[in-house]
Amino acid sequence: MNSVGDTPERQETAPRAGHPFGQEHPQRVLTWRTAENSAGYLLPHLRPGLSLLDVSSGPGTVTLDLARRLAPGLVLGVDPSVLAVEQATGLAFDGGVQNARFTVGNAHTLPAADASVDIVHAHQVLQHLPNPVAALREMRRVLKPGGILAVRDADYGAVGWYPKSPGLTKWLQVYRAVHELDGGDPDAGRALKAWARQAGFDTVSVSASIWCFSSEAEREWWGESWAARSIEADFAAHAIESGAARLSDLHEISAAWHRWSQDPDGWFAMPHGEIIAARPS
């Protein structure tokens, strides 16, 4: 089980391009992600010298944590956002991580040769793709025989919170509607094994972990991020344009997140599905 620490470890940020759930992702949502809290299931499979391709690597915090563990193995972060690539590159330079580089690209056309990578990693990527199986086939293409695919995605069908809140119930309804209308699957975490098998992976190990937000710092990080995102980011525009919510609904949702963040009894849990899929030797 993963929980955000009282003192978030990362301050660098980067927007995620090309999707209403990422194009103007609030700063805090991408700043604290580390290998420990977002890829713990993968860590036992790492060893120095292995190569890794990180799909939709964003600001690079997880990517660089993995690179440090794999050095001198080469690590490539791929992201559709030019700004994210620039910021991740700067972060690597500032941190002295010399075995990682970042480039613009997407999950359907990875910039790597056939059978050239030991590990492909994708965190909260497939839930946003209209054709996740095609993306998994592309990830399989670049894996070496014996290489592994590591994928982790949220499952919004299993999220929970306390105390009960009509505003947060409405938030989840709107989130799911917008997500589905834009071609994604908010319950992707539970489908990862099936998708991997459809993509040609015969050996798939499955696990699950959870992000849990309850401390004062965690509630402020998660709740205030959503309070802002609900009314300011692309999410709001898509919610209104799709008919999933009115502006007044979004303001109610924002206020509910703010109240939750201020409640010392507040608790929120987001489950994730995880898979390790091996390409046969």
Any idea where the domains of the chain sit in the sequence? 2-278
Mean local confidence (pLDDT), 17-42: 63
Residue whose pair of structure tokens reads 């994730």 in the numeric block: 272
Return d(Cα 168, Cα 176) in angstroms, integer: 12
Return d(Cα 47, Cα 66) in angstroms, integer: 10
Q: Assess whether pLDDT exceeds 80 at residue 174.
A: yes
For 28: left if phi > 0, alpha if psi spans -120 to 50, otherwise beta; the answer is: alpha
Q: What pLDDT, in 10s, does the model give residues 230-254?
A: 998 788 899 998 899 999 999 999 9
**Would you place residue 33 in the very low, low, confident or very high pLDDT band (cuts 50, 70, 90)?**
confident
**What is the number of other CB atoms lying within 10 angstroms of the CB of residue 52?**
26
Q: Assess whether pLDDT exceeds 60 at residue 23.
A: no
Task: Supply the pLDDT for residue 32.
Answer: 72
The answer to whether residues 139 and 125 touch, using CB atoms and an 8 Å cutoff, is no
**What is the number of other CB atoms lying within 10 angstroms of the CB of residue 37?**
18
Task: Supply the pLDDT for residue 31.
Answer: 55
Return d(Cα 209, Cα 273) in angstroms, integer: 7
Write down the CATH number for the domain with range 2-278: 3.40.50.150
Residue whose pair of structure tokens reads 């980067």 in the numeric block: 14
Is the link from the previous residue into 26 a cis peptide, with omega within 30 of 0?
A: no
Q: pTM for the whole thing?
A: 0.88
Q: What pLDDT, in 10s, does the model give residues 246-278?
A: 999 999 999 999 999 999 999 999 999 999 999
